[in-house]
Amino acid sequence: MKRELELKITEEFPFMRRGKNIDEQRKEVGHISDLYGAFGCGVGDGWYEVIRGLCRDITEAYTKAGLPVDIIVDQVKEKFGTLRFYYHPEAHDPGIHAFVSVSDGKSIRIMPGISELHKEVAEIVQKWEKESSNVCEKCGIAGDLRKDLSWVLTLCDSCYARLSKK
């Protein structure tokens, strides 16, 4: 995602600031798990509103609970054509996460011992990851999963036509 859009996201949602893993959590520059700090939002500009929606819903859930957002973003990327938003609650070590892949290629996250609020956040993330399969990653209009390109992507008709000609 271009820098300008990422900056807008971090201005609107301070928990999306890069480098939180290093500065506040680990005090260890270049920690291997901080892929977000290294690469930022590794998705196309078309998903700007998807990421905004996800961040807005998370912020609202915490606001409703009267608590500050306490999640650390680990990685934001595209996988099998849809958004993946990996994070961990500040009090938890990322190593606690377990990832279980199910047959349709989606992953279910199991985070033992988390609060109701963190469960709600997990549901918000899942909802927006799923929503990304309806939004063109290039331009942001309605799109579909395209499985016949060299890489599975969610694209609108015209972005798909442009890419399939190459």
- Note whether 77 and 84 are within 8 A (CB): yes
Residue 137: name the closest of 81, 85, 86 by CA: 81
Beta partners for 100?
108
How many chain residues interact with Zn ion (CB under 5 A)?
Answer: 5
- Residue number with CB closer to Zn ion (51 or 121): 51
Q: Which stretch binds Zn ion (CB under 5 A): 50-58, 67-75, 114-122, 154-162?
A: 154-162
Residue 76's closest CA among 4, 127, 147, 16?
16
Measure the CA–CA gap between 83 and 77, rounded to whole angstroms: 6
- Written as one letter, the residue type at 8 is K
Task: State in angstroms the smallest separation of the CB of 141 from Zn ion.
Answer: 6
The contact mask relative to Zn ion for 105-144 (x = CB under 5 A, - = no) is -------------------------------x-xx-----
Q: In this complex, which beta carbon is closest to Zn ion, that of residue 43 or of residue 72?
A: 43
Backbone φ and ψ of 58, nearest 5°: -65, -45
Asked whether position 38 contacts Zn ion by CB under 5 A, the answer is: no
Shortest Å, Cβ 81 to Zn ion: 13
Q: Is 114 exposed, middle or buried (0-12, 13-18, 19+ CB in 10 A)?
A: middle
- Residue 68: CB minimum distance to Zn ion, A: 36
The one segment of 12-20, 94-102, 111-119, 157-165 that binds Zn ion by CB under 5 A: 157-165
Please report, as ranges, the residues that interact with Zn ion according to CB under 5 A. 136, 138-139, 156, 159
